[in-house]
Structure 1
């Protein structure tokens, strides 16, 4: 890897990290309110890092998002339930790191050579996004069933169907959005790195 390419990669990693920080600290930049849904778009930045830069960098950018979520749960919670669930790094940090790992592996290894680049980017976007949704909600169900059910004002037996509804509405919509945006943003950046 030549010096210019290495410098470009470092600058891009810094820019994507800065974008994550901005998206997580300034309201409405990381989330799109659409009717009753609030769609997270922060994962798209992590997916782009994973596709364009690779597994390690995708994990770093995802980790930055996770650490900010973790710290904010203590000092500036985004909701009433955040101090309960996001103070656990398994819920706040690990799923965000794994977005980058999953997206990079899908794009660079699992589908490499099997599908065209655009389709690989879309699939990586969808699976990266679903990784976050499924793991965050799964860990909440495992560790915080009762407080989360109380927060949603549900009986314990209603919690799993409610979480599945969140996956089916927000989760699938966010995954589709990630699958659309990932190639649109990643393709020009990948071309710049290859030059």
Structure 2
């Protein structure tokens, strides 16, 4: 077993892993603070802040991905406290803002590892889609489970319509986000892997 593989399975972080966690977490935070982490669409804004989590998970394993996701989630809490919006009441809860972001790294890594075939681009693409959808559906599912009534009140809709609206947002946002994540992750990760080999 190589040194990198051993670090992935031992639960310990080497210098490179710590550097990657710091660098990719900083990228997520910069994307969020600058507004570049959100791409305007006709009906909503698609986020790309999950992409550093996916990249870290595929390159260096689920623990690295989970740590980047943890920092992404903690940043979401801070952002909800400092620049609140109508859904900040939900994002202050770590079950909404942190847990799904930690799971991005885990689901993306195992989607990559469990995808059969030699086509590296396909494996990365599937992993990026899975990780991105984990973020979208994970966050919105937790909002529905924990805050359906508050969400309905904030949106001015009936409680019976909350699930339809929440999962409508998940589809409208989730599909473009997954496509964007795939389009960015595939060339970036393949370029980094090629550099590793060289």
What's the TM-score, normalizing by structure 2? 0.87
In 1, the alpha carbon distance for the partners of 2:147 and 2:15 equals: 43
CA contact (8 A) 1:8 1:193 kept: no
Q: Deviations over 1:12-62 (max 9, x none)?
A: 333212101211222x21101122220101011111111112111111111
Distance 2:18 2:145 in 1: 38
Higher relative contact order (CA 8 A, sep 6+): 1
Q: Measure the CA separation in 2 of the matches of 1:61 and 1:90.
A: 16
Residues 1:135 and 2:142 aligned together: no
The alignment of Structure 1 onto Structure 2 pairs a total of residues equal to 187
Partner of 1:12: 20
1:171 to 169, 174, 177: 174
How far 1:114 moved relative to its partner? Answer: 2.9
Q: Which runs of 5+ in 2 are unaligned?
A: 5-13
Q: Deviations over 1:153-188 (max 9, x none)?
A: 111111111112112211111111112211111111
**Rounded Cα–Cα distance in structure 1 between residues aligned with 2:195 and 2:63:** 19
Distance in 1 of aligned mates of 2:171 and 2:79: 27
Aligned equivalent of 2:78: 71
Matches within 5 A, 1:20-99: 20-26=28-34, 28-77=35-84, 79-82=85-88, 84-99=89-104
Structure 1 match to 2:162: 159
Alpha-carbon shift at residue 125 of structure 1 (Å) = 0.5
Please, which runs of 5 or more residues in structure 1 have no aligned partner? none
1:94 and 1:114 map into 2 onto residues whose CA distance is 30
Contact persistence 1:24–1:65 (CA under 8 A)? no
Contact 2:17 2:64 in 1 (8 A): no
Q: Aligned-pair RMSD on alpha carbons?
A: 1.7
Cα distance in 1 for partners of 2:72, 2:17 equals 19
The 2-side partners of 1:117 and 1:8 are apart by 23
Post-superposition shift, 1:103?
0.4
Aligned equivalents of 1:136, 1:94: Cα separation in 2: 8
